[in-house]
Each structure stands twice: as C-alpha cells, then as structure tokens.
Structure 1
Amino acid sequence: MAAIAPHADPVTHHHEAARRRFGFALAATGAVLFSAKAILAKFQYRHGIDALDVLALRMLLSLPLFVALGIHESRRPAREPMTRRDFGLILILGVLGYYLSSLFDFWGLEYVPVSLERLILFLNPTFVLLIGVFAFGRKVARREWTAMAVSYAGVALVFVENLRVQGEHVLLGSGLVLLAALSYALYLAMSGQLIQRIGSLRLVAYAMCVSTAATVIHYLLLRDPMHLLQLPAPVYGLALINAIFCTFLPVTFTMGAVARLGAGTAAQMSVIGPVSLVFLGAWLLGEPITLVQLAGTAVVLGGVLLLTRPGANSVPVAATAQAAPGSATG
C-alpha cells in the first residue's frame, strides 16, 4: 500500500488506519475459526461417529448459507455470465477443494492431534508452488526452494516427535492429512482464472454446493441416511457450530480481510491458526505440548511466511493461492 503523504487529510488517514485494523481483526478471527473445526471434530468423535458423519453434517448444515451467498453474488451488477466450461470446472473444483480435501482431513483427524493436522495443511503454499513447477513449468527462485525446505524440515520435526509421543497411528493420519493438503492445493492451482472471472465468493459458494452433493452421494452409497437423524444430541450442536463458525464465517471474514489488507498480508495472518491450535489442543483436548513440537511449529511458520510475504513468490499460481478464500483447507 502506498504511504500516506505528509499533508494528506488526517480524516482519510484515520479512516484508512481503522480499515486496516478491522482487516487484521477479520484475518485473525478467520484463521482461528478455520483451525477450530479440528477441535470440534475431535469432540464429535467422542460420541462414536466418524469422518463421513462429521463431513455430511457440516456440509448439509452450511449448505443454505452458501446457497444464499451464491444467489447474492450472482445478482451483483456487471457479473459475467458463466459458460459451460465454467460450470464443468466448478464441478471439478468442488470435488477437489471441499469434498476430497475435507474428507481426507476429517479422516486424518481420527489419528493425529489437531496441532499436527493444521501444521501439515499449512504446507498448502509449498504444494501450489510445486504444482506450478511440475504442471506448468514455472520458475522458482532459490529463496522459495529454501523456504520450502525449511517448512518441510519443521513438519518432519513435529511429525517425528508426535510419532514418539503418540505411536504409529500418527503415520496413517499424517498421510491422510497430506492428501487433504494436496487436494486443496490442486483446487487453488486450478481456480485462479475462474476467481478473476466470477469472483472468489461466488466460486466458493458454487463449489460448496457441488461438494455437498458429492458428500451426499458418498453417504447414500455407504449408509442409511436415517443414521444421520439418530446421532447423539451434542453431535448436532457441534455440527451447527462447525457449519456456521468454522465454515461459512471464516470464508467471509478472510475475503473481507483480503479486500482491506491485500492478499499477501491476509495470507500472513493465517499463521495464527496453527499456533492457536497448539494451545487450544492442549487446553481443550489434553494433547501434549513438547519443546520439540513448539520448535518445529516455529520453523514451519517461518518458512511459510517467507513464501507468503508480498512479492516473494516467483510463480504466479502461488499468488493465486494467497488470494483464494482461506489459505488452508476448509
């Protein structure tokens, strides 16, 4: 953002400062709420349900909100009409970004602590960068390779420590969460031009509707839908909180922050998510915290900050990841 001139209107300067403060508050709140869905999933698992139940409830309860958002965004003036190709791409993005990534994520949470889950998901910018290299032949500067190496070293440090503390099931859970991160990275890499054409909120609303349909089909193929109506009462309360406060609101908060701060600064604020989960997991779930885990978390966040700072990315597709709603999988 350009610096305020010495003789600029003080009222304008005050308004801009207040706008940025509000943007920082939106970004921080969105990051924590996005991450908190892992805590809610852990509480739901205590009632004997699994990842598919958690995902189905989350998607069905948030669907009306995203339908309303999609209708609102589609009625904005000067919206470009959508082509058949756009709809086909949204089908693919909906399956990748909010169905497969969420399914793998919730499945992985059955085996790993929330702090490790969020840390692995936080590797999204590195995955998008690598997709740009191998799929699009993009160039990556040496500092980006260094930042990626630092990030992966930090995750490896935390992973080995969790393996030591919690056992071999961490290996399966980490693999599943890694698939979630890769699926969401594909979503980000493929969504850049479509975001520019139809808008980020419109895209996420339509993609969530597709993801809900995919989740319902998956559920109907494997289970009796009446099972969803026979779960313990606390499960529905937790699912409603997940749908509203950890799914819909973070999307709108994050995009509001991008509008006020820019994509790069908003992406940097997402570091609050993994840090908050380290302490929330210990406080609410009794998950252990060790000095090695804290050190590994700090290393990962440092590496990702190098990748997401303004002007750092030499691969255009990575900049798209910063501008998309949520820097980690939904």
Structure 2
Amino acid sequence: MKKKETFIYGVLLGVLGIVLFSSKAVMVKLAYRYNIDALSMLLLRMLFAFPFYVVIAYVYRNEKQEITQRKDYLWLVFFGFVGYYLASYFDFVGLTYIKASLERIILFIYPTIVLLFNKLFLKKAITKLQKLAILITYIGIIITFGSEVSISGSNTYLGGFFVLLSAVTYASYLVGSGWLIPKFGVMRFTAFAMLVSCICVFVHYGLFSRVDILNYPWQVYALGLCIAVFATVIPSFLVSISIKLINSSNFAVVAGIGPITTIILAVIFLNESLTVLQVVGTLVVISGILLISKRKEN
C-alpha cells in the first residue's frame, strides 16, 4: 500500500474508532437513568471487556515487535493505568454532573494537549498543516457547541473539572501509545494496556465500593456489554492501528469528529435538540479532518 493510501486508511480507521468511542458518553448517560454510580458502571464496562483482552493478548503473544526492555513494560503499565483507568474514571464521574454534549467539548481539548506533549517530550514539531487543521476543527467545535455550553452551579464546574482531568490523562496515553506500539505491536500493546486498566478498576472497586453489582435492572448490564464491546474493545484497537499509521499528532486532529458524533447520538437517544449552528459546525469539523487526510507524508 502506498504511503498516501496508508495515511488515508489510518484516518478512516481513526474516524471509525472515534465514532464508536463517542457512543460511550450517550450509553453511560442512559445507564445513569437507572441510578448506577460511576464506579459500578466503569466496573461493568471492564468486566465485560476483560475476557476479550485476555483472549487477544494470548492470540497475539508472539506478534512481531522491536526489542523491548524492562522499562518499556513499566511504561506500558503506567500508560495502561493513566489512559483507560484514570481517564475513564474521571470521565464517568464527570458525566454524573454534566450532559454528554458539554462533556465532549471539554474532553476535546486533548488534541492540543497531545501536540504539546509530543513537542515537549518527543521533540516532534507541530506542522503548519496540523495547526491549520486544529484551528478549523476548533472553529467547528465552537460553532457547534456555542449555544450548548451553559455553566451554572458548583456541580457543573466539578463535572467539568473531572472531564478536564480525563482529557489530560487520555492525551498522555495517546502520546505514550504512539511511542510504545512499535515496541510491542498494535494488538499486544492495546491488549496489555487494557488489561492493566481492567485490573486497576477491579482493585478500585474492591477497595472502595460497597455497592452490590448484581442488583441492577437488566438494561444496565446490556448497556455495560455494549459499552465494553462497541465503545471499548473494538475502538481501542482501531485507535491503536490509526496511531501507528498516522501518528498520535494527526490522530488528535482526526478525533475532532468525536463531539459531532456525540451530538448526533444525543439527539437520537437522549432527545437533545439539533440546531442549524450544530449542522454548520459539523461541516466545518469534517472539513478539518479532510484537510489533515490530504497530507501526503506521514
């Protein structure tokens, strides 16, 4: 596959992964209608996802990789802890206080954080094309959510703070995965990192929760399974493959489709309204993604 075709393929996989990831916020909000707490919801997500990652880790145990050192495994554990444990926990807590659309606009600051982390720690320059694409996608986000953001009350500020923490920790994971994936291979790295995250959630729940996880309506478990498969397992691998093909900086720009997807899903499943400005913002964000997809060199 030619370099340009590979890049476009990576962009498409990234978009699909982000679309699936974006469905998480909506499904979590649906589950919260049944009075489940954030930690219990996160536990269900990881319980259902755990067997998939065990099987994948075993199947790809001999995946081709670069030479790894002990410190690489320590970094893998660290990014597994930060990326899908802390980031997910902060996000789930934040969603108990704010609506899905507001969560997405706050979370969307992570592309800028990724570019900054890449520059600070990996000495990667921010190209003019990346700057332009980021600017266009942010303009789209501002247009889309301009009429949606209404901060009122301490709980909203608290929820926004937790989602901000989620953005920072997830950006750290994206940067780390871009560096470690070549060492472990896409499938092995993703499976191992997610297994670390699952174990962290299990330990957290065992130490701090006194909630009976078997005492919820069947709808909660159905949503937990859907979140695990369609908003966790599948997109986690799609994102890792995309990062390998286009690098974490470009993936951060592609992720601009996430907030728009959340709005559309919120309209369908949470009965939120869709305005003309949101449609315009959607088109602007998509134009930014198309711009970055035209990059000829990786």
TM-score class, shorter: 0.7 to 0.9
Residues 298/115 of structure 1: CA separation in 2 closer, same or farther (3 Å cut): farther
Residues 108/46 of structure 1: CA separation in 2 closer, same or farther (3 Å cut): same
Q: CA deviation at 1:177?
A: 2.2
- Structure 2: tracts of 5 or more residues without a match: none
> Aligned partners of 2:239 and 2:269: how far apart in 1?
25
Counterpart of 1:45 (choices 21, 25, 32) is 32
Residues 305/122 of structure 1: CA separation in 2 closer, same or farther (3 Å cut): farther
> Aligned partners of 1:269 and 1:152: how far apart in 2?
12
Secondary structure of the residue aligned to 1:111 is coil
- The residue that corresponds to 1:32 in the other structure is 19
Q: What CA deviation, in whole Å up to 9, does each residue of 1:145-192 have, x standing for no partner?
A: 44444444544555552234x745544433322321221111121233
Q: CA deviation at 1:98?
A: 0.4
- The residue that corresponds to 2:198 in the other structure is 212
1:232-311 equivalences in 2 (<5 Å): 232-253=217-238, 262-263=245-246, 267=251, 272-303=257-288, 306=291, 309-311=294-296
Rg larger in structure: 1
> Aligned partners of 1:38 and 1:223: how far apart in 2?
22
- The residue that corresponds to 2:90 in the other structure is 104
Contact in 2 for aligned 1:281/1:287 (Cα 8 Å): yes
> Aligned partners of 1:246 and 1:89: how far apart in 2?
24
- Structure 1: tracts of 5 or more residues without a match: 4-15, 313-318, 320-330
Residues 291/92 of structure 1: CA separation in 2 closer, same or farther (3 Å cut): same
Q: CA deviation at 1:109?
A: 1.9
Contact in 1 for aligned 2:103/2:163 (Cα 8 Å): yes
> Aligned partners of 1:173 and 1:305: how far apart in 2?
32
Counterpart of 1:193 (choices 179, 183, 187) is 179
Residues 210/256 of structure 1: CA separation in 2 closer, same or farther (3 Å cut): closer
Secondary structure of the residue aligned to 1:229 is coil
- The residue that corresponds to 2:62 in the other structure is 75
Contact in 1 for aligned 2:10/2:241 (Cα 8 Å): yes
Residues 253/227 of structure 1: CA separation in 2 closer, same or farther (3 Å cut): same
TM-score (norm 1): 0.74
> Aligned partners of 1:91 and 1:106: how far apart in 2?
21
Moved more, 303-312 or 189-198: 303-312
> Aligned partners of 1:174 and 1:308: how far apart in 2?
31
Contact in 2 for aligned 1:93/1:187 (Cα 8 Å): yes
- The residue that corresponds to 1:12 in the other structure is none
Percent identity over the alignment is 36
Secondary structure of the residue aligned to 2:72 is helix
Q: CA deviation at 1:45?
A: 0.2
> Aligned partners of 1:308 and 1:117: how far apart in 2?
26
Q: What CA deviation, in whole Å up to 9, does each residue of 1:266-314 have, x standing for no partner?
A: 95875554333222211210113233444444445544554565358xx
- The residue that corresponds to 2:209 in the other structure is 223
Aligned length: 293
